[in-house]
Amino acid sequence: MRLLLDEGKRSLPKFNSSAVEKAFRFCVNAHINDLRVSGEPYYTHPLQVALIVIREIPLDDISVMAALLHDVVEDTMFSLKDIESEFGSEVAAIVDGATKISDVFASREITQAENYRKLLLSLVNDVRVILVKFADRLHNMRTIDVLSPERQTRMARETMELYAPFAHRFGLANIKWELEDLSFKVLNPTAYNQIKSGLNSTREERTELIERFAQPIAEKLQVEGLKFEINGRPKHLYSIYQKMVSQGKQLDELYDLFAVRIILDTNDDNDCFLAYGIVSSIYRPVPERFKNYVSIPKKNGYRSLHTTVISNDGKRVEVQIRTRAMHEFAERGVAAHFRYKAQKGATSSWINSTDLEEWASWVRDIFESAGDDAAHQIQESFKLNLYQDEIYVFTPTGELRILPKGATPIDFAFDIHSQVGARCIGAKVNNRIVPLSHELQTGDQVEILTSKNQTPGNDWLKIAVTHKARTHIRRILNEDRRGMVARGRELWEKRAKKLNISVNDDDLERITAQLKYQNRSDFFYAIASGDITIDDAVTTVLEKLQPRAAEAEARSDQAPSFEKFSSTARSDVGGVYIVGDSSRNTNVQFSYARCCNPVPGDDIVGVVTVGSGIKVHRSSCSNIQDLKTKLGSRILELQWSITNRGEFLAGIKITGDDRPGMLSEITSAVNAVQSTNIRGVDIDAYDSVFEGTLTVYVQNTDHLQKIFDKLHRIRGIRTVERFEG
C-alpha cells in the first residue's frame, strides 16, 4: 500500500491519500477469501491495476479508487450501493461501467459486433470506465501464462481485436503496443520467438549504429542551443510481423527495424522543424517518407515529425522528432496532457487539433483553479469533446461505423461504398424509413435503400457532412456535367458542320459571354440539357458573328507590314518596346497574351497579329514554338521599359492538402503582399487533396515571387508554380 500512496502523490496532481488508502483496505477486505488462478491473493490484481492507472494512464485519484474496487461488485457480496455509500457516486459509476463491460464479454451468446455496441455506448457516461478497463486488461495479459491454452487464446484474440485498437484511438501508444505484443505471443508463439530472437542477436550492432548515427546530429543540436534527448528503440514485435507479412519479407530483409527518436525540451513547435533541417542536412532524406503530424495531427491528437534518411552506412533509418509535451501525449494519450499542464504550469494549449482544442482549454482552466469539482469538470470535458463530436452507428449485420456528429444516411452510405452512396434513395434507421436528410444518432442501426436508377443531385451537397461523401458527390456531379458538356459540344459541331458554319474558339467564347454564359462549357451544357435548342443556339451565334464576319472581309488576307501597322495602331502605356528599332514604338498597340500572362521581368517576344496589334508572350510560352514555325517573320524581340508602371495579370497554380480554412489562408497570404489584387480563385478538391488556380494583378516578377514565398509557407501547400492557360 505504501508504494501505491507514494507513487500516487508523486505522479498525480490531485491525490487524496486517505481516500485511496480507505479504498485499498476495502478492496483487501472484500476479496479476503479470494485467490487468483496463480494462487496469489486476489487483491494483488486490483492493486496492480491501480498502479498501472497511476504509472501509465495518469488520470486522478477517483480513477485509482475505481481501479482498486473494479471487481468488488462482480466478485464479492458487496453491492454498488455499498460502493456509492463509502466512496461517492463518481467512483460507483466507474465501477458500475467496468462491471457492465465485464458482463458483456462473459456472455458467449453475444456477438463481437454487439460487444462493440454496448462498450461504445457505455463510454458516453464516463470515459474513465474504459481507461480502468485498459489497465485491467493489461495486467491480465501480463499474467496470462497461468490460464489454460483455450482461455489464453480467447483473451488474446479479444485483446487484439478490441482493446488494442481502442488504446490506439485514445492515444495510449505504449499500452496498445504491449497489448499487441502480448496477444501476438499467445496467438503466434513461433513467429513471436523468431522475431524476438532475431532482434536480440543484432542488439549490439543496432546500439553501435544508433550511436554513430546520433553523434553528428547531437553536435549540431548543441550548437543551436537546443536541449534534447536522442534514443533508439526497436520496433514492436507485432508491428515488425505485420511488415513481414504485408511486404512478403524475412526479418533480415526489413530496413526499418528500429527508429531514432529526438525529444526536444522546448515549448516552440518550430524547433521540431529546425531539428528536421539539421537531420536532413547531415543525412539524405527519403522525400516520400516525410510525415508532418506536428502541423496536421492524427485524429487521436498524436503529433510528431516522421522522416526516413539514408545513414552513412547506406541503411534507411526512421527518425521521429517531437517536443517533450508531444512525447508525453504520444506515450500516454490524452491523460498525459493535463498531467503535463499541471507539472509545467503552461498557460496555453499545445494541442493544435480540431478534435482536442476545446478539451485542452477546459483542462488548462481546471488546473489553474483548485475547485473541489475539478474531477467532475474533467469528466464532463472528456465526455463533451472526445465523444460528442462523433457518433457510433451500425450496419444491419452489427458492423460498427464511426461518423461525425450531424451525419446523415448519405454519409453512412458513402462510408460503406461509393456505389452504395451513389444509388442511395433512403434508409431504414432502427427499422423505420427515414429521408436522406435524417440526422443519425449514436446506437442507430442503419440499412441503406438503393436503386440502380438513382443519381446524386446538387442538393445532396447540402445534406452530406463528411469529406468522403461530399468528395464522391462532387466527382459524380462533375462527371455527369462533363458528359452533358461533351454531348452539347457534339450536337453543336454536328449542326455547324451540316450548315457549313466555322466559328473559332475565341469567337465562341466571346459570343457565349455576351449571352451571359460563364464559358463555352456552360453553353454546351445548356444545349444538352435542353435549356436552349440547337436551332436557337445556331441562330443566336450567327447573329452575333455576322458583324465580325463583315469586319474580317474588309481586312486584307495578308498580315500588314510593320510600317503600315504602326501608322494605324493606337498608342499604349509604353511598358514594352521593340528591341533594335525604337522608332517603331510610336503609336504601337500592344496587348498581353492570355495563354501565358507575361509580367515585367519575364523574357518576352511579340507576335504581329491581324487587327490586334502586337501580342506579347513570354519567351517560354508553349504557343510561341508553333508560331515561330508558322509566322517566323512576324515574331519580334521585345523588352520591358524601365519606366514601366501598372498592374499585370498573372496565373498561379497551387496544389496541397485539403483542410478547413485552407482557402482563407491562401487569400490572406496573397493579400498580405503589398499592392496585390486578387482577380479570381478556382479550387477543386478530391480525396483530401486540392488543386487550384489563382489569378492576381502584380507589378513584376519580383512582386510575383513574394506571393510564391508567402504561399509556400502555408501548412499543407505542396506546389506553387506559374500557370499557363
Provide the annotated active-site residues: 74-75
Placement of cell 466555322 in the chain: 502
Residue 254 one-letter amino acid: L
* Rounded-to-integer distance, Cα 102 and Cα 219, Å: 53
φ/ψ bin of 589: left (φ > 0), alpha (ψ from -120 to 50), beta (otherwise) = beta
**Spatial CA neighbour of 393 closest among 434, 361, 352, 423:** 434
Burial 177-189 (b: 16+ CB within 10 A, else e): bbbbbbbbbbbbe
**Strand, helix or coil at 109?**
coil
DSSP structure string for 232-285: EEEPPHHHHHHHHHHHT--GGG-S-SEEEEEEE--S-THHHHHHHHHHHHHSEE
DSSP-derived letter for residue 13 is: S
**Spatial CA neighbour of 301 closest among 359, 378, 384:** 359
Residue 474 one-letter amino acid: R
Total residues found in the chain within this entry: 725
* C-alpha dist (Å) from residue 638 to 128, 436, 603, 616, 626: 74, 61, 8, 8, 18
DSSP-derived letter for residue 381 is: H
Cell output for 9? 502523490
**Spatial CA neighbour of 380 closest among 365, 401, 370, 368:** 365
Dihedral, CA of residue 645, residue 647, residue 652 and residue 658, to nearest 10: 130
Long-range contacts at 515-518 (CB < 8 A, ≥ 24 apart): 515/540, 515/544
Strands 258-264 and 316-323: parallel
* Rounded-to-integer distance, Cα 451 and Cα 434, Å: 16
* C-alpha dist (Å) from residue 69 to 21, 90, 159, 166: 12, 12, 22, 23
Cell output for 200? 536480440
* Rounded-to-integer distance, Cα 295 and Cα 169, Å: 19
Angle among Cα 129, 134, 124 to the nearest 5 degrees reads 30
* Rounded-to-integer distance, Cα 330 and Cα 312, Å: 29
* Rounded-to-integer distance, Cα 681 and Cα 25, Å: 69
With residues binned 3-state (H G I as helix, E B as strand, rest as coil), the percentages for the chain, rounded to 5, are: 55, 15, 30
CA 651 to chain centre: 28
* Rounded-to-integer distance, Cα 595 and Cα 722, Å: 11
517 φ, ψ to 5°? -90, 145
